[in-house]
């Protein structure tokens, strides 16, 4: 039978990373993944809570029932209280919706705001999952190049001036996926001011900001927002567990109420059982102490990866030195193609993601590659960077 797919799905390709991960065998070193380390999941504590919930027949019966689309109220309250109290993120005019991962917050805002042909300004490079969401809504995607301190503001302003129907600017403000870069406070203020001047929204996607291994916390853009111009997408994937699929959006109540309607037409509500587990976890245990433990694990891995890259790569290859998050961006000399390097490393059982995948125009040659340090063990980081460096030398020697 011939299937007549919708126009919006015709141009959409499967996430390259998900495809790469499918071909990853247990003997392969995965620098391509973006997964958190399972060592950081609070398995015992969550198990204890789950057992107690199932032992209470009346309570579990109501948890296994339908819930409300906005989210489980105690989780909404503790999440909002934590974001407002600790990070001044969210104001009196804002509401919070619990979503199925941060990914759904991005999807629901797009559903609420984007008509086909509307423009979304993104960072170049940016997160594939979001680019594909915007593509699903047939958005016109344009990028401002990402610099070590955030978007190129001249390009951003020019795009705001020249592009039609710009609905929002999409920013991964801290320890960006894939570059590892963090937008400076100065640029956060400047981007908010530009958004105000050109009357567009900002979608601040910030799932990594609590995984900081050094340096000072940079206030979230949402914390600078005095008029409801910023929608904040948060996630529990990197601080609690990814498989529970818990995220949230904080935004002006009028925006959130539209997102709630969008959610009702999508999955009705986020998995109630894990919302309750997360709420109980935050109530009974110290989430901040747990995050501190995760930071320790990742800091060691990041340090190891950076020192290995520094010692093993030729000088003409540069790489970012992220103060947190899960990714390092490696750049080959101009004219190189990250795809060719990825083809070489995969033969040696090391997977990496070529930089073109993170670009609006992914057909264009890109000299970057993304490396992840959270998934591989320390031994794998040592061995994998040996292989990577040998492949880089082979590739550059051939060119």
Ligand X SMILES: Cc1ncc(COP(=O)(O)O)c(C=O)c1O
Interface residue list for ligand X (CB under 6 A): 34, 101-103, 127, 129, 172, 177, 205, 207, 235, 237, 242, 247
Instruction: Please state the closest distance from residue 322 (CB atom) to ligand X, in A.
Output: 13
- For ligand X, give the closer residue by CB, 172 or 369: 172
How many CA within 13 A on the CB side of residue 122? Answer: 28
- For ligand X, give the closer residue by CB, 102 or 324: 102
- For ligand X, give the closer residue by CB, 195 or 203: 203
Question: Of 231, 153, 233, which is closest to residue 197 (Cα–Cα)?
Answer: 153
Instruction: Please state the closest distance from residue 291 (CB atom) to ligand X, in A.
Output: 15
Q: Is 32 exposed, middle or buried, given 0-12, 13-18 or 19+ CB atoms closer than 10 A?
A: buried
- For ligand X, give the closer residue by CB, 69 or 103: 103
Residue showing tokens 């403000």: 173
φ, ψ for residue 180 (rounded to 5)?
Answer: 85, -5
- Residues 100 and 245: beta-carbon distance below 8 Å: yes
Instruction: Please state the closest distance from residue 235 (CB atom) to ligand X, in A.
Output: 3
Instruction: Please state the closest distance from residue 311 (CB atom) to ligand X, in A.
Output: 28
Q: How many other β-carbons are positioned within 10 Å of the β-carbon of residue 1?
A: 2
- For ligand X, give the closer residue by CB, 36 or 308: 36
- For ligand X, give the closer residue by CB, 140 or 372: 372
Q: Which residue is nearest to ligand X (CB)?
A: 101
- Residues 146 and 125: beta-carbon distance below 8 Å: yes
| Angle at the Cα of 112 from the Cα atoms of 254 and 76, rounded to 5 degrees | 55
Instruction: Please state the closest distance from residue 233 (CB atom) to ligand X, in A.
Output: 7
- For ligand X, give the closer residue by CB, 247 or 322: 247
Alpha-carbon gap, residue 318 to 68, rounded angstroms: 49
- For ligand X, give the closer residue by CB, 128 or 344: 128
In order, the DSSP letters of 343-374 are: HHHHHTTEE-EEGGGGSSSTTS---EEEEE-S
Instruction: Please state the closest distance from residue 125 (CB atom) to ligand X, in A.
Output: 11
Which residue intervals of the chain are DSSP H helices? Answer: 7-10, 16-22, 43-55, 57-63, 73-87, 101-113, 128-136, 153-162, 185-197, 253-264, 272-284, 287-312, 338-347, 378-398
Instruction: Please state the closest distance from residue 246 (CB atom) to ligand X, in A.
Output: 7
- Residues 371 and 330: beta-carbon distance below 8 Å: yes
Instruction: Please state the closest distance from residue 36 (CB atom) to ligand X, in A.
Output: 9
Q: Three-class SS of residue 12?
A: coil
């Amino acid at each position: 039978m011939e299937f007549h797919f919708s126009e919006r799905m015709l141009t959409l390709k499967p996430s390259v990373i998900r495809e790469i991960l499918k071909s990853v065998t247990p003997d392969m070193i995965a620098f391509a993944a973006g997964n958190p380390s399972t060592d950081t999941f609070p398995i015992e504590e969550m198990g204890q809570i789950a057992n107690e919930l199932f032992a209470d027949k009346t309570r579990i019966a109501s948890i296994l029932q339908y819930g409300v689309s906005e989210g489980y109220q105690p989780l909404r309250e503790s999440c909002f209280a934590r974001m407002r109290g600790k990070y001044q993120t969210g104001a009196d005019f804002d509401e919070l919706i619990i979503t199925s991962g941060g990914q759904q917050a991005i999807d629901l805002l797009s559903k609420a705001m984007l008509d086909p042909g509307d423009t979304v300004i993104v960072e170049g490079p940016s997160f594939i999952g979001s680019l594909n969401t915007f593509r699903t809504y047939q958005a016109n995607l344009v990028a401002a190049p990402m610099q070590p301190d955030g978007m190129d503001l001249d390009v951003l302003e020019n795009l705001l001036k020249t592009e039609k129907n710009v609905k929002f600017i999409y920013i991964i403000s801290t320890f960006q996926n894939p570059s590892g870069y963090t937008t400076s406070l100065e640029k956060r203020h400047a981007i908010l001011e530009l958004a105000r001047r050109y009357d567009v929204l900002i979608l601040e996607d910030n799932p990594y900001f609590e995984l900081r291994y050094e340096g000072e916390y940079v206030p979230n853009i949402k914390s600078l927002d005095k008029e409801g111009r910023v929608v904040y997408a948060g996630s529990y994937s990197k601080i609690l567990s990814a498989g529970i699929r818990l995220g949230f959006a904080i935004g002006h109540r009028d925006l959130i109420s539209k997102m709630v309607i969008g959610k009702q037409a999508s999955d009705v509500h986020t998995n109630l059982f894990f919302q309750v587990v997360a709420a109980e976890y935050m109530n009974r245990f110290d989430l901040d102490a747990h995050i501190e433990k995760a930071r320790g694990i990742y800091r060691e891995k990041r340090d190891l990866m950076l020192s290995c890259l520094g010692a093993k790569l030729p000088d003409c290859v540069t790489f970012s030195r992220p103060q947190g998050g899960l990714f390092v961006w490696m750049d080959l000399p101009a004219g190189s193609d990250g795809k060719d390097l990825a083809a070489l490393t995969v033969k040696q059982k090391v997977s990496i993601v070529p930089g073109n995948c993170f670009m609006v125009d992914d057909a264009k040659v890109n000299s970057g590659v993304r490396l992840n340090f959270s998934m591989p063990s320390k031994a794998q980081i040592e061995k994998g960077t040996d292989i990577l460096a040998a492949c880089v030398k082979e590739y550059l020697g051939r060119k």
